[in-house]
Homo-oligomer: A and B are copies of this chain.
Amino acid sequence: MRILIIGARGSVGRTVVNALEDRHDLIRAGLASGDIQVDLENLDSIRNMYRNAGNIDAVVAAIGHGHFGPVEEMTGELWMKGILHKALPQINVVLEGIPWVSDRGSFTLTSGVLNRDPIAGCASAASANGAIDGFVLGAAGDMPRGIRINSVSPGLLENSTDRYTGKFPGHEPVSSRRVGLAFTKSIEGVVTGQTIRID
């Protein structure tokens, strides 16, 4: 398959590349690296990415960031960061990408554990994850030409534990191998409308 991986150099994207590169033709996209440079917060940039990538069988979106902080200090504007920097960019990858994906192809988005197993200050991030997980369930039934759509929702990644020391008390890190398997299931398998959890 020709597979477009957006965020290929990120902590999640690297696990996807490792899981797939031996047997698929990967197109790596990223903000400042890879085969195609793309800023998912810019619609024209997304459209350029698809024009450059051409027809593809699967798309992975593994990007996003948000706001962390207690609700007592949160504003609506801060809350929106999770929506605007994680959920909306990934959803625009789907909305703009449908014409480029082959029959029975797939989209796989990336949410995360915080809307089922929260940590302090995660209300904005948990909302972004919930928006993504809700979207794939709602969108799956609408998809044309047998195109499937899922989200992968990993726990704390073992390759990111250094960045989050003390922030995820008691969370058992999930292996890069298992994260890669979840994306493999979404791309090579048959499920649609699912949030594939890795705990």
Q: Which residues of A contact B (CB under 8 A)?
A: 43, 70-72, 74-76, 79-80, 83, 87-88, 91-92, 94-95, 98, 114-116, 118-135, 137-144, 193
- Whether A142 pairs with B76 at a CB distance below 8 angstroms is no
Give, as a whole number of angstroms, the nearest-CB distance from A33 to chain B. 24
Q: Contacts A71-B139, A118-B137 given: A79-B91 contact, CB under 8 Å?
A: yes
| Bound complex: CA A124 to CA B83 (Å) | 13
List 10 tightest A-B contacts by C-beta distance, closest first: A130-B134, A130-B130, A126-B138, A123-B138, A115-B134, A126-B134, A127-B131, A123-B139, A122-B138, A131-B131
- Whether B142 pairs with A72 at a CB distance below 8 angstroms is yes
- Whether B91 pairs with A76 at a CB distance below 8 angstroms is yes
| Bound complex: CA A142 to CA B70 (Å) | 6
Give, as a whole number of angstroms, the nearest-CB distance from A50 to chain B. 14
* Residues on B with beta carbons closer than 8 Å to the beta carbon of A74: 95
User: Which of these, B43, B98, B130, contacts A71 with CB under 8 Å?
Assistant: B98
- Whether A135 pairs with B127 at a CB distance below 8 angstroms is yes
- Whether A128 pairs with B126 at a CB distance below 8 angstroms is no
What residue of chain B has the Cβ atom nearest to residue A75's Cβ? B95
| Bound complex: CA A34 to CA B146 (Å) | 48
- Whether B70 pairs with A127 at a CB distance below 8 angstroms is no
- Whether A129 pairs with B122 at a CB distance below 8 angstroms is no
| Bound complex: CA A98 to CA B75 (Å) | 12
- Whether A43 pairs with B125 at a CB distance below 8 angstroms is no
| Bound complex: CA A114 to CA B91 (Å) | 17
What residue of chain B has the Cβ atom nearest to residue A68's Cβ? B138
User: Which of these, B114, B131, B193, contacts A128 with CB under 8 Å?
Assistant: B131
| Bound complex: CA A123 to CA B121 (Å) | 27
- Whether B140 pairs with A115 at a CB distance below 8 angstroms is no
- Whether A115 pairs with B94 at a CB distance below 8 angstroms is no
